[in-house]
A and B are shown apart, each in its own frame.
Chain A
Amino acid sequence: MSTIPEDLRYTKDHEWIRMVDDFTGICGISDHAQEMLTDIVFVELPQVGLDVAQKEQVAVVESVKAVSDVYAPVTGRITEVNAALEDTPELINSDPYGDGWIFKIEIKNPGELDDLMDPRAYIEYVESGA
């Protein structure tokens, strides 16, 4: 069973978001997602300053055998990306919730956070095999 931290919110596409203050979130993909993808070899990062809508594609994560889009969990503006992933994409495998974060987002509508799953709901979602 993969790790699912308590302090995060999750999407059906296996992204997570951690709120650092009322309007700023850090996003990445879940432990489950990185396990499914296997060894990650490349991450296509978004431009800083990009405005994105909830569920809009913002990044791409590639493994040797698969490609996966990463979607914005909420509407907002990309304020920072994890440049370390350019040279060491494997951080997503080794530390998906920490050093393997992908981007920071300034949230436009905090109400959208309610659309996301809490850890318990996400555990059920993953166990249901989706």
Chain B
Amino acid sequence: MDVIFKHSEPGKNRYQIPEPGADDYDPIPGKYLSDASPLPDVTEVEVVRHFTNLSGMNYGVDNGMYPLGSCTMKYNPKINERIASIPSFAGIHPMADPEAVQGCLKVLHELAAYLGEITGMVFSLNPAAGSHGELSGAMVVKKYFQDMGQARHVVLVPDTAHGTNPASAAMCGFTVKEVPSNSDGDVDVEKLKEMLDGDVAAMVLTSPNTLGLFDRNLREIADMLHRNGSLFYGDGANLNAIVGKARMAEMGFDIMHINLHKTFSTPHGGGGPGAGPLGVMEALAKYLPVPIVAQGKDGYYLDYDRPDTIGRIHSFYGNFLIALRAYAYIRSLGPGGVRNIAETAVLNANYLLASLKGLYHLPVERRCMHEFVLSDRDMPNGVTTNDISKRILDYGFYSPTVYFPLHIEGAIMIEPTETETKDSLDAFIRVMAEIRREAYEEPEKVKNAPQTTPVKRVDPVIAARRPVLVWEG
């Protein structure tokens, strides 16, 4: 499809701007002004058709199952979208007086309390994304050891970790070392023991891990770290598997972040905005980024008077309208509904796992939590994970996460989430079985997929070799 710029013709745009109604009393001197016209000149109808047609070239959770592992692509309730658009929230200015924004502050205060109840930690809602929460968490680690007068330089991450874990630690000047997993998919505790010394500031672990497994040595790892004087960071990316079933605080984590766009159903928006609240154990709460929403005798207020804070990390207070959606979601579910998230997500994932493990290679033979990882190891005729993921698109589903985690060659990471019906799970199983049959009998169909999508298989090499990042006419 053409970019909008191709429709641009001088004089087409009839969008009406009101008259100023006032003379310009202080004209801006000419040397500051420009005559350039960098924007497209198109009609409203063209714009509406362009973006409507673009939406038709997209695939969202509302189109069908989106088993993108580790991303928790669950249904995004429509009422939460309506709530986030009401002017008494969407139209509130962040610099308005505290007495004029009590509703916003109450939402933030209560959401932080709910997240605290769900995990056992104290929360700041400032981080705008999971990666931002992680970065802030790494800053808390840094500040903590500065205060302790200890120079610790190393952050440990397992080989199953999301790329953001090492990247966030590195941005705070930490050296990252990788801890291997054992063949059961748990952290190799013996190797970890060898790596622990006085230079280790923290270890980051996703719980359940990115293989969708609950590390059976979790408490032991936490104790080892704490005996070593190190902090234990919990990446909450996979919280969906355990909400209402176990709390991160009791697992021994000191710091964590939550991805509201995963566990708490706020839409992924084609790649954001999400939100990544940062939680810490009470003893570390003084380091949380400012401001913190507090409750005083005159109502709620933004507390900046926190001398040990790592500082400010966002222009304002994080992604408020995302927090509002998560708040609404938790209020609609209640305690039973929250627990039901984990139970159904884990049931759905295990059902898929049990149904698919005879068809595709399963690198770690265990029941899973909310997701699991298959691989292309046993595929015939040179069919790869990439081929399978493209063929899945032909059958009207989105693809699983592929080639992650990195230590599983040709990984296919599947997370159905709790909002899929059994019918859609069964349909996905049939499709995966059919693709396996094709791999044996008609491999070209898989290798040349997709055929039914708006464009055929896209070549990433051309884009990267001679990058064209803007339209130049």
Contact = CB atoms under 8 A, between A and B. Distances in A.
Direct A–B contact in complex, judged by CB atoms less than 8 Å apart: yes
Interface of A: 39, 41-42, 62, 64-65, 89-90
B403 A39 contact: no
A119 B466 CA distance: 35
Contacts of A62: 464
A1 B231 CA distance: 47
A89 B462 CA distance: 11
B78 interface: no
B403 A64 contact: no
Contacts of B93: none
Nearest to A65: B403
Contacts of B403: 65
**3 closest cross-chain pairs (CB), A and B:** A41-B464, A39-B461, A64-B460
A36 to B, nearest CB: 12
Interface of B: 403, 460-461, 464-465
Q: Interface on chain A toward B: helix, strand, loop, or mixed SS?
A: loop
13 contacts: A39-B461, A41-B461, A41-B464, A41-B465, A42-B464, A42-B465, A62-B464, A64-B460, A64-B461, A64-B464, A65-B403, A89-B465, A90-B465
Contacts of A42: 464-465
A39 B460 CA distance: 10
A13 B403 CA distance: 23
Given A39-B461, A42-B465, 4 more contacts: A41-B464, A64-B461, A65-B403, A89-B465
A38 B175 CA distance: 29
A116 B403 CA distance: 33
A89 B461 CA distance: 11
Nearest to A62: B464
Q: Output the residue of A39, A62, A89, A90 with the most chain B CB within 10 A.
A: A39
A10 to B, nearest CB: 24
Contacts of B464: 41-42, 62, 64
Contacts of A65: 403
Contacts of B460: 64
Contacts of B461: 39, 41, 64
Contacts of A41: 461, 464-465
A41 B464 CA distance: 6
Contacts of B465: 41-42, 89-90
A124 B460 CA distance: 34
Contacts of A89: 465
Contacts of A64: 460-461, 464
A56 to B, nearest CB: 18
Nearest to A39: B461
Q: Output the residue of A41, A42, A62, A90 with the most chain B CB within 10 A.
A: A41
B203 to A, nearest CB: 25
A86 to B, nearest CB: 11
A90 B461 CA distance: 10
A33 to B, nearest CB: 17
A28 B383 CA distance: 31
B442 to A, nearest CB: 25
Q: Output the residue of B403, B460, B465 with the most chain A CB within 10 A.
A: B465
A64 B464 CA distance: 7
A41 B461 CA distance: 6
A45 to B, nearest CB: 15
A50 B465 CA distance: 26
Nearest to B461: A39
A28 to B, nearest CB: 18
A64 B461 CA distance: 6
Contacts of A90: 465
A62 B461 CA distance: 11
A42 B403 CA distance: 21
A70 B403 CA distance: 24
A63 to B, nearest CB: 8
Nearest to A64: B460
A56 B395 CA distance: 49
Nearest to B386: A65
A41 B466 CA distance: 8
A68 to B, nearest CB: 14
A14 B460 CA distance: 25
A128 to B, nearest CB: 17
B124 to A, nearest CB: 33
A2 B460 CA distance: 24
B468 to A, nearest CB: 13
A42 B465 CA distance: 6
A90 B403 CA distance: 23
A44 to B, nearest CB: 13
A35 to B, nearest CB: 14
